[in-house]
Amino acid sequence: MTWKHDNCASRLAETQKREQELSKSNQTLQEHNTQAQIIYNSLFTISNTAAAYAHNCTEQAIEAQNNSKQALGQLASIKSELEAERKKINLPKQQKIGSAFSKVTNNDVNESNIIDNSNPSTSVKQFGRQ
């Protein structure tokens, strides 16, 4: 019977030892769980902050895109106005240059007519083709 008693006592001591080890492991797990929860909450807060920041960036990008479209429209309008203004300013000059050019060319043609017409065998139709 002592043998049974010793066996039970050693089993009890072993069980108590395992309980203490389990208790320590449980306490360690609890500490790690608490740290993990703190880290999780921190990451969750950071994630929400990042999502809000991304949302703001998206809205700013959309606003910038709309502003650039509006600016391009304004530039196109200004360009049209400037081109119309340039045409108004350049039109009289171009007409003067054109009329001066036609006078010069007409004088050259008339002088060449005189030279070409010095040959009596050249007809007017042939001259027109030259």
Tell if the pTM clears 0.75, that is, is over it. no
Higher pLDDT, 86 or 125: 86
Question: In the predicted model, what is the mean pLDDT of residues 50-72?
Answer: 98
Per-residue pLDDT tens digits for 83-105? 999 988 877 665 555 555 555 55
Residues 6+ apart with CB under 8 A from 117: 127
Q: Give, in degrees to the nearest 5, the angle at Cα 26 between 25 and 30.
A: 115
